[in-house]
Amino acid sequence: MTVPVFEEYEPAIDCGCAGCAVRRRSAARALPVRRGGHPAAHGARRALVLATAAGVVLSCGAAGGAAAAGHVPGPPRADGGADPEPATPQGEKGPLRGTGASGPPSAGSAVPKTTRAEIIDRAKRWVGAKVPYSMEKYWSDGYRQDCSGYVSMAWNLGSNEWTGSLAAYGTRIARADLQPGDILLFHNPADPSKGSHVTIFGGWSDSTRTHYVAYEQARPQTRKQSTPLAYWSNSDRYVAYRYKGVTGGSPGSGSSTSFPGAKQFGPGADNKYVTALGRMLVQRGGKRFYAVGPGPEWSAADRRATQAFQRAQGWQGKEADGIPGPDTWRLLATGGGRNIPAAGAGGSPNTAVAFPGRGYFKPGQSNSHVDRLGEQLVKKGYGKHYVSGPDPRWTEADRRNVEAFQRAQGWRGGAADGYPGPETWRRLFA
């Protein structure tokens, strides 16, 4: 598949009227592109495109410039939520600054090796840095700040690919086989700037496997959030790929996501699963519990680190006894759940969250409590009414999801009105 380039057209650069501005923007977005030809012709085309882009900015201002780049905001939604699909217009593939040309690997050539843990760690760096979305700018590591540049960085490709070339670096897999570090890719060959997008799979976020933790580069900045499989829109057109150079299994372990059984853990246990458990716990913030490092022989360090991870999920009593069960193993192996908090940071986030009051959950409200409520609804499997995911603004989608949860408790009438009270909150965060 060739990469889009621009070809000649006749813009009305000297006309500042709205009609000419719209025509310039439409022409710039719709043009097909060709490779080959004389270098001088390429230079002429590039100069013409740059001149046209300048004319758009001069005649339309900031809003016109954004539209010319394909950054056209969608119409407002009736529920007041965000656009159902983040604007992710695709730029051409390009090299890292100061390096050679990019492009799909040649047949039989080796790709850089990496582990799943390294892929997720690199993805988390941009989330932590809150890298702004841009299809023109490059971050300090040399990777373009759009969705495909983000995957190029996480996969450590050494070049900035685009949605039309990333598949060449991966092997197509079934969605049921997704593991952290794999990607879900939708490339629209008819118009790559419309709908094309790619996300990094970070693990399942619910037991039914209808939602997953997605690492993605979208407006306004890199984000990590629970996302419907495979995406908010065009879901059936996303294809799962596994990077050809990935080694090992799940982050930090090299193991399968299948729980090996409780008998593999506890006093007297000495096997590879204990080592895998310890490595996963270290990746999730448990390094301080190990004086030497994880090993195959079960130790008090394994028990304390496991218990710290379980308590970080809000579990108490037998659910936080320091011996891993199927749920503990699943969260560790897929990268789900909450990390172990730093020493002195306090206990479980869930148990520390008290009901803030009814006043935070009504039309017109926007606060962190609404965002936290939405995230918990998604984790519990009651997020089907979200189109673009939870956010701090209270919307009708929040109310309908709360109502679904309340009805699942057997409540009816005023007890299932979609507005959380103390008992709804307690059960939701239990």
Position 71 scores a pLDDT of 33
Contacts of 221 (CB under 8 A, 6+ apart): 130, 131, 132, 133
Exposed (0-12), middle (13-18) or buried (19+): which is 420, by Cβ within 10 Å? buried
The predicted model gives 360-386 an average pLDDT of: 89
Answer whether residue 82 shows pLDDT above 50: no
Position 17 scores a pLDDT of 54
Task: Confirm if 370 and 361 have CB atoms less than 8 A apart.
Answer: yes
Q: CA 62: distance to chain centroid?
A: 28
Position 104 scores a pLDDT of 56
Structure-derived torsion over alpha carbons of residues 379, 382, 385, 391, reported in degrees to the nearest 10: -40
Exposed (0-12), middle (13-18) or buried (19+): which is 418, by Cβ within 10 Å? middle
Distance CA 197, CA 217 (A): 9
pLDDT band at 87 (very low <50, low <70, confident <90, very high): low
Distance CA 181, CA 116 (A): 5
Cis peptide before 230 (omega within 30 of 0): yes
Distance CA 79, CA 331 (A): 33
Count of CA atoms in the C-beta half-sphere (13 A) of 415: 9
Answer whether residue 183 shows pLDDT above 60: yes
User: Can you give the pTM of this predicted structure?
Assistant: 0.43
CA distances from 365 to 95, 323, 374, 395, 421 (A): 45, 42, 14, 9, 16
Task: Confirm if 202 and 284 have CB atoms less than 8 A apart.
Answer: no
Position 390 scores a pLDDT of 85
The predicted model gives 359-372 an average pLDDT of: 88
Contacts of 14 (CB under 8 A, 6+ apart): 55
